[in-house]
Amino acid sequence: MHRLFARVARALCAATVPLLWPLLASAQPPAESGIARDTRTRAPLACLHVALVDSSRHAVVHTVTDSGGTFVLVAPSAGIYRVAFEVFGWEQLLGPVDTLRDGEMRERVYPLEFDEQPANGGPTLADLRRLETGDWHSASAANPDADIRFPKSMRGAATSGSVLAEYVVDERGRVRSESWRPIASTHPDFLAAVRAHVPAMRYQPARLNGRPTCQLVRNQVRFEWVGPVPAVTLLN
């Protein structure tokens, strides 16, 4: 009798699981996931800030990619969303518009290419910081000038120039030296001056949901002549 009861119970459970699965799936919130890759190098973009934005371009969820460039963003509810990729101070890159239903997961590979120049005509860096929510705060330079020296070789001709580089700032506010990558430079001597000071750069780390996190940072260093003396300024 007990054996018969056990067999009946197992049969009922096996029949119930397929019936309940659609209900369980529909009860789960929708999500977007994917892999962020550099378009030119095909390398995964680690520690990149990713946000899920609604139809009003309001960010509802934030995360950062892992070492393989992968991410998952769980939406608060069904609706219309896009994935936004953000490097502070640069033009935001947006994925396609998705209409997500409960229990639905969208997965894509995102080839990304940010501009070589900072965003023009948009909010200032100070405005961008004020727009950040309580869930996400970008890293900020603790020593903005970073004591980068204007190269002696460029002083005689009073030559101006710039260097654009990309790197990861870790949870302690240190630049991961292996992540530092030059993107554009007007002269090798300017590039050498910036590269030499990478170990000394310090940041207040980014914060996600109140906890320090790594962040992919893109920075432009400008070497300019202001009056009779040279000046070095960091954009970000």
- The answer to whether the CB of 125 falls within 8 A of the CB of 178 is no
Residues 204 and 157 in one domain: yes
Write out pLDDT tens, residues 191-233: 999 999 888 889 999 999 999 999 999 999 999 887 777 888 8
Structural domain for 74, as ranges: 31-112
User: Is 76 inside a domain boundary?
Assistant: yes
User: Is 223 inside a domain boundary?
Assistant: yes
Percent of the chain topping pLDDT 70: 84
Based on the number of CB atoms within 10 Å of its own CB, is 163 exposed (0-12), middle (13-18) or buried (19 or more)? Answer: buried
User: Is 228 inside a domain boundary?
Assistant: yes
Residues 101 and 146 in one domain: no
CATH of residue 189: 3.30.2420.10
Q: Could you tell me which residue, 141 or 222, shows the higher pLDDT?
A: 222
93, 112, 131 - which closes a domain: 112
Query: What is the rounded distance in angstroms from the CA atom of residue 114 to the CA atom of residue 129?
Result: 20
User: Is 72 inside a domain boundary?
Assistant: yes
User: Is 40 inside a domain boundary?
Assistant: yes
User: Is 124 inside a domain boundary?
Assistant: no
Residues 178 and 93 in one domain: no
- Taking the model in full, what pTM does it have? 0.81
Question: What is the amino acid identity at position 84?
Answer: A
| Mean pLDDT (the chain, rounded) | 85
- The answer to whether the CB of 214 falls within 8 A of the CB of 47 is yes
Write out pLDDT tens, residues 113-131: 998 888 776 667 777 777 7
Number of domain units in the chain: 2
User: Is 206 inside a domain boundary?
Assistant: yes
165: alpha, beta or left? (left if phi > 0; alpha if psi -120 to 50): beta
Residues 156 and 224 in one domain: yes
CATH of residue 98: 2.60.40.1120
User: Is 118 inside a domain boundary?
Assistant: no
Q: Could you tell me which residue, 70 or 24, shows the higher pLDDT?
A: 70
SS3 label, residue 200: helix
